[in-house]
Amino acid sequence: MFSLLGRPPGLHISAIRWFLKQHPEIVTEGMTTSQINRQIIKLETSGTNLPYVAKLSSMTDSDGVPFVSSATAFVSHAWRYPFSKTVVDVMEQFASENQGTYFWFDLFTNDQNAVATKDFHWFSTTFRDSIRSIGQVLLVLSPWNDPLPLKRAWCLFEIFNSLTESEVKLTVKLPLTEVSGLASSIEKDENSLIQALSDIQAQKAEATSEDDKNMIFEVIQKSQGGFSHVNSQIKKALREWYVSNMRQLVKDHPSNIDLMISIAMTTRDLGFLDESLEINQSCLELVKTVGNDKERKNYEASVYHNMANIYMDKNQLDLAIQYYKLSLERTIELHGQDHPDVAASYSSIGLIYFNKGDYASALSNFKKALDISIRHFGKMHADVSGIYNNMALVYRETGEPNNALEYFNKALDIDLKLIGEKHPTVAARYNNIANVY
């Protein structure tokens, strides 16, 4: 293997720019890494028994910066990606944030005319040793809601090695076009990012060689925690990356209240409570500038509710009640007492009182929510079932088992009709009834 004093070689970003300038068709035709390998790299290194990086080893850019030096970042990406639009975009971002970076990039640093003769042991050792000695993995992910590398077994192997080596740092980045898509999706549906994370299952990855895939899976399964640990660590890295980008989105769009509210809700769902609280507080200041009274109150109701949820998550129950009541006030001002959103606020306040052990106040709020919900939805509705269940929990805690059974059974009757006996919620209702007995 071509190396520099025993260390893996890497390319400076100026070398990548030079390469693109030499081959403009890469940009104009949107060539993938795989296409570049077949149509350019293999042809230009044929018969040399050397990787492409050796060709650049004596070259410098206009400022005298060497094209090649010891690698400082291992690039992990899918070869199906458009090279300039996706991979180089991310490398440019990383290089601008980390001056003096040299990228280990398998397309250039491995002899592509010889790799076809190499076995699994060679590939796994090459990747693992390179990652370990470099100490930094740059993971290129696209699209943001269904990342291709998580479906490729060799990319998964690289991620796995970056996670299992204590001295290796994993950095996740998306192309700038994907960052824009992320912002748009969050504004439309704050649950979209959570759904994307929940869909990640590394054990679904594929490989061109079934034998390679099986051997990679065997290595992961034998590791501590197996696929479960790998999935959780990948999601952790993605959560941190998403939140860092959402911070930037807030800075880039300081007057977009809808986007800020969605981001605040998403960061809370991701477990970044202080971050979410800070964004919500910024939203409140911004909402004060809204001239339309109805629109302002609607925003305030949403932000106060979000802040109450955060304080509940932080187990600061008095503050949670305070902000739920503020949200309730705005909702009543907007819609009057008899509205489903008012019922939802009463239910939330009731749950806080229940958690505080103030069962009388909890029951009072649940009854208010129940009356409104029945008037709007009728008795056969999921919201009504949920309130019955909460009232039953209060009765169970206050030592009134007959009332508890009555309301648990009311909830069960509704759920059996609405969602059927095979649903997990129905199982929970049966469990609650059993606890009373």
Question: Burial code of 287-301, b = ≥16 C-beta within 10 A, e = fewer?
Answer: beeeeeeeebbbbbb
Burial of 141 (0-12, 13-18, 19+ CB in 10 A): buried
Report, as an integer, the average pLDDT of 157-165.
81
pLDDT value, residue 4: 54
With bands split at pLDDT 50, 70 and 90, how would you rate the model's confidence at 366? very high
What distance separates the 2 farthest-apart alpha carbons in the chain? 87
Give the tens place of pLDDT for each residue, 196-227: 777 777 788 787 778 888 888 888 888 888 88
Residue 191, pLDDT above cutoff 80: no
**Angle in degrees, 0-180, between the axes of helices 359-377 and 382-397, rounded to the nearest 10:** 160
Sheet holding 169-173, edge to edge: 68-70, 9-12, 102-104, 73-76, 136-140, 169-173
Q: Is the pLDDT of residue 380 over 80?
A: yes
Reported as a pLDDT band with limits 50, 70 and 90, residue 6 is: low
Does the pLDDT of residue 3 top 60, yes or no?
no
The whole-chain average pLDDT of the chain stands at 89
Highest-pLDDT range among 26-40, 107-121, 282-296:
26-40
C-alpha span between 276 and 264 (Å, rounded): 5
Give the model's pLDDT for residue 368. Answer: 96
Beta bridge partners of 73: 103
* Angle subtended by helix axes 176-188 and 226-252, to nearest 10: 90
Residue 325 has pLDDT above 80, yes or no: yes
Asked whether residue 193 carries a pLDDT value surpassing 60, the answer given is yes
**Do the Cβ atoms of 336 and 375 come closer than 8 Å?**
no
Place of tokens 């941190």: 240
User: Residue 326 contacts by C-beta under 8 Å, 6 or more apart in sequence?
Assistant: 300, 304, 308
The confidence band for 251, taking pLDDT boundaries of 50, 70 and 90, is confident
Q: 120 versus 391: which is more confidently predicted?
A: 391
Query: What is the rounded CA–CA span in Å between residue 225 and residue 231?
Result: 10
Whole-Å CA distances, 9 to 252, 314, 435 = 37, 48, 64
> Residue 9 is inside which H or E element, if any?
strand 9-12
pTM over 0.75: no
Residue 166 pLDDT level (bands cut at 50, 70, 90): confident
Mean of pLDDT values over 178-185: 74
Report, as an integer, the average pLDDT of 330-350. Answer: 93
Which two structure tokens, joined as six digits, stand for 241?
């990356």
Residues in the chain: 437
**Predicted confidence band of residue 231 (pLDDT cuts 50, 70, 90):** confident
At 88 the pLDDT is 94
CB neighbourhood size of 176 (10 A)? 13
Under a CB-based contact definition with an 8 Å cutoff, are residues 104 and 9 in contact? yes
pLDDT for residue 189 is more than 80: no
- Which stretch of 87-91, 167-171, 386-390, 399-403 has the lowest confidence by average pLDDT? 167-171
Strand partners, 69: 10
* pLDDT over threshold 90, residue 255: no
Alpha helices in 46-119 (DSSP H): 52-55, 89-97, 106-109
